[in-house]
Amino acid sequence: MLQATQLTSIFAGGTWIPASGDRLLEIFDPSDGSIRGEVRSASAADVDTACTAAAQAFDAWSLTAPHERAQIVARIAEGLTARSDELADAITAEVGTPRHKCAAMQIAPATTAFASAARLAEAVLLEGRLDDTVVQQVPVGVVACITPWNYPLFQIATKLAPALVAGCTVVLKPSEVAPTCVAILADLCVQAGLPAGVFNVVFGDGPTTGEVLISHPAVDFVSFTGSTRAGARIATVAGACIKQVSLELGGKSASLVLPDADFTVAVPQTLAKSFQNSGQTCAALTRLLVPNSRLDETAALLERHVPSYLVGDPGDERSVLGPVATAEQRAKVGELTIGARAAGAQLLASGAVTGDEYGYYVPAEAYLTGPDDLLSQEEVFGPVLAVIGYADIDDAVAIANNSPYGLSGAVWAGDPHHAGSVAARIRTGSIGVNGAKTHPDAPFGGFRQSGFGRERGAHGISEFLTTRAIHY
């Protein structure tokens, strides 16, 4: 059972230790703006305790047989399933994901990430030979993981699970916005038999606790998911220490609908991918590109479908979307949409909002904008879709690539082979054709300001490995 004192502690060496930091950060319930708890920001001494525990545990853990590490990671996956309801309650209360969707959206992908890493572990950790030289894949060392609030458990899972099976030890700094699921995860790691010191947790914000963690001399590798602005700062701090980094950052992904596509399928499915988790998804399809000649048809489809995205209390099963997670995010979405309308963006469709007046609710909206306009370029991180017209396919590809980001995307066409050829011209790390499902083991990561490095599957495990040559 979760204890309130865990959120004012650090998890180091397999046990909870009271944190010595002097800052208490409030945890808010986005459904009504109420304070539901506090988390204590770790001090530099706390970070040192956690990093020292990870460093001391590294030798033994890195020498543990891969199949033994995989068995422990598989047991963590089983533990997540067993405590799915408790985890979903915590994430709904801190992030605002509708409770009736939380298990499928937030918990199941995290469980899959642990199970996948366990299954792939031994296949990735193979030795090679060059005559009398052995080339080994070895763990990179102590890893600092810094994760966001939008998918608080899943984003941890895509880092922690592959790091563990690779033989690394970990110090995690999760988002201070949604810390409760982390305390549950730490307890599950103990129950799964993970040795003390292999997984450690410090709470706090990025500019203070996060930078101390990145700079700690025991840390060999930094894995970060979050905003591009924060990622640039992390790269600077890590670079000064000559540390490897993996950055999964922002996105402004395009859903390109070709003239021969079925618009009655492409437009609603783009909306679903745009508004998922109230738009707080880095890979969301937030730009809808359609032929200029089909803009009226697209607007009619949006008028039909956008109102179905009722934004409301996450505990109400009628709510399709919940609030955004923070008051700051609500303000940002409002500022961007007000600014866009003032600059000439045309509101095409909007959904209804219910819920407590003090909650962080924003309506689902779709706007007609130009390719260089604010809503077409800025990552909103809210339920806002930018609709952009194009003249021909070359123009559409140019618009899709007219972004500093390159994380995700989609192409829709009557001919899937034609869609694939167009998709190959778009500079992005992942792109779907005609609504194809994403394989959970497929590599995920971005181009340009969406970051570098890959997560998930075998590629995700490889991020936490380096090579060593032994010559005989």
Q: Establish whether 282 is a catalytic residue.
A: yes
How far is Cα 160 from Cα 199, in angstroms, rounded to an integer? Answer: 8
Q: Where is 247: in which H helix or E strand?
A: strand 244-248
Pairing of strands 409-412, 253-257: parallel
Q: 430 CB contacts (<8 Å, ≥6 apart)?
A: 283, 407, 408, 409, 438, 442, 443, 444, 445
Q: CA 236, 373, 235 angle in degrees (round to 5)? A: 5
Residue of 51, 181, 189, 282 with catalytic role: 282
* Local structure of residue 349 (DSSP, 8 states): E
Q: Establish whether 248 is a catalytic residue.
A: yes
How far is Cα 255 from Cα 92, in angstroms, rounded to an integer? Answer: 29
Query: Which alpha helices (DSSP H) does 356-409 contain, by range?
Result: 374-377, 393-400
Write the Ramachandran bin of 297: left for phi over 0, alpha for psi from -120 to 50, otherwise beta.
alpha
> Is residue 29 within 8 Å of 97, Cβ to Cβ?
no
Query: Which alpha helices (DSSP H) does 167-246 contain, by range?
Result: 180-191, 211-215, 228-240
How far is Cα 334 from Cα 346, in angstroms, rounded to an integer? Answer: 15
**What would the two tokens of residue 121 be?**
């572990």
How far is Cα 230 from Cα 249, in angstroms, rounded to an integer? Answer: 9
Residue of 211, 248, 365, 455 with catalytic role: 248
Nearest to 359 by CA among 31, 129, 88: 31
**What would the two tokens of residue 188 be?**
């599950």
Nearest to 116 by CA among 439, 452, 436: 439
Q: Which residues are catalytic?
A: 248, 282
